[in-house]
Amino acid sequence: MRRERFLPFAFARHGLRLAVSELALDGKSLPLDEHEVIHLDDESWRELRLVGAVEVGDEALASLPPDERGRADQLAALWLVLRCDRTALRRGVPVGPGGAGTREFELTVPRAEVDGPFEVVPWLVRSRAGAPPPGYAASEGARLASGPRLYVYPHEPAPRAGDFLEVVYVRFSEDAVLRHQPWRLYQLETHGDTPVLRINADHESIVRVLDARGQTGLDARLREVFYDQISRGVWSLLFTGAVESLDSEGRTHRPWQQGVIRELLPHMFPETPKRERMHELVALREDESHLSLLAEKCDEALQRRLDAVKHMTRLIETTVGQR
């Protein structure tokens, strides 16, 4: 996975917006999800057709030096990149010039190109080399901006830690930093406006279970327990980051931090009136002698929310039944 925040020049990670207006599977129109995720009923399709538009905003053009922004149509190009880790697919589809505004696209994905979850990513790149001042990309093909990915799953959505979390499968062996930690199952980045959870696709047998379809059988029961294991660690990290950002009035720096706290507070203080829960949380955070109590409350909340006992029991019952 390329780590855009380390690029040595201006890059707008959230400068583009991708929206799908039409979705068709083998020529048959399908309803659209409200979020940037598409879930297909099964994998027995031959061709997926996506129609939509990509919006280039002011933030994206800020990755060009001021004297070049008025010529963005000549200096930058808009692309869609189709990626599937299972098949090592990386296919670029040109959308149009990179100036401000909205560009329509039509993307066809043959079933033969993908295996399991795949994603569509908008990119703004330099189409012509230049000599900009330091801090800006100069070479042809250099990345200038991107936007939220569109994920396509051939099954119902797996459990996620809230709508504020972006989940991607990444081969850690191909990442300059993560390749030195092959033992890791996942890595959570919380520095931006949207946390990113990277699951290590090198652990193929585990990923196969995480992507398992269906609601019955051994794989379904394993999937539930696997997600509980990942979610426990992820939620703990998200909660810690959110609590650290709290001010004395209970305000946070980013919306996702407020979302995490709002989700866990009822489970942490079920006997406390709603209007007093935030005050109690801030009081525990500010008293160092109560930090262990805060961690204990978080653990209790996660056990309540994740329902791990039920999922473990289901797994036991399923495996016993198969002996």
Domain containing residue 21: CATH number = 2.60.40.10
With CA atoms as reference, report the closest residue to 171 among 82, 88, 80, 113. Answer: 88
pLDDT in tens, the chain (323 residues): 333 434 557 788 788 989 899 988 888 888 775 555 676 766 678 899 999 999 998 888 888 888 888 888 898 999 999 988 778 888 999 999 988 899 999 999 998 888 777 889 999 998 888 888 787 878 888 888 888 878 787 654 444 444 567 788 888 988 888 889 999 999 988 877 788 888 998 998 988 888 776 677 888 888 888 888 898 899 989 988 888 888 877 788 788 888 888 888 888 888 888 888 888 888 888 877 777 888 888 888 888 888 888 888 888 988 876 55
Residue 163 belongs to domain spanning: 158-323
Within this chain, do residues 215 and 232 fall inside the same structural domain, yes or no?
Answer: yes
Beta carbons within 10 angstroms of residue 61's beta carbon:
22
Last residue of a domain, one of 157, 192, 209: 157
Number of domains in the chain: 2
Largest CA distance in the chain: 71
**CB 157 within 8 Å of CB 39:** yes
Last residue of a domain, one of 96, 131, 157: 157
Within this chain, do residues 17 and 61 fall inside the same structural domain, yes or no?
Answer: yes
SS3 38: strand
Within this chain, do residues 312 and 185 fall inside the same structural domain, yes or no?
Answer: yes
Last residue of a domain, one of 157, 188, 220: 157
Question: What does the DSSP assignment read for 141-155?
Answer: T-EEEE-PPEEEESS
